[in-house]
Amino acid sequence: MATLKRRLNEFVDYYNNKRYHESLNNITPADGGLELYKGLKGYFHYYNNELAHQGIGRQIPAKLHKKAA
């Protein structure tokens, strides 16, 4: 059982700290956490404040929310 736990810990370390991920532009999750956060933060701002959504009559969610509040 100890061997299994050790091997699992080795895999988790490899996966998070040494293995490059194509979905993260070939960086490791450990190296790219801050860059990933910044990228997502920028995209969420765009998605909620600039992008017109078909499901709500081509309106921008943030503007629609401000009207309701």
Q: Is residue 2 over pLDDT 90? A: no
3-state secondary structure of 58: coil
| Residue for token pair 């404040």 | 49
Query: How far from 40 is each of 8, 21, 35, 61, CA to CA, in Å?
Result: 29, 16, 9, 17
- Whole-prediction pTM: 0.50
SS3 of 26, please?
coil
- Going by C-alpha positions, the residue among 60, 39, 43 that lies closest to residue 51 is 60
Confirm if 28 and 17 have CB atoms less than 8 A apart: yes
Q: Read off the pLDDT of residues 6-45 as tens digits, 9 standing for 90 and up.
A: 999 999 888 888 888 787 778 787 777 777 777 788 889 9
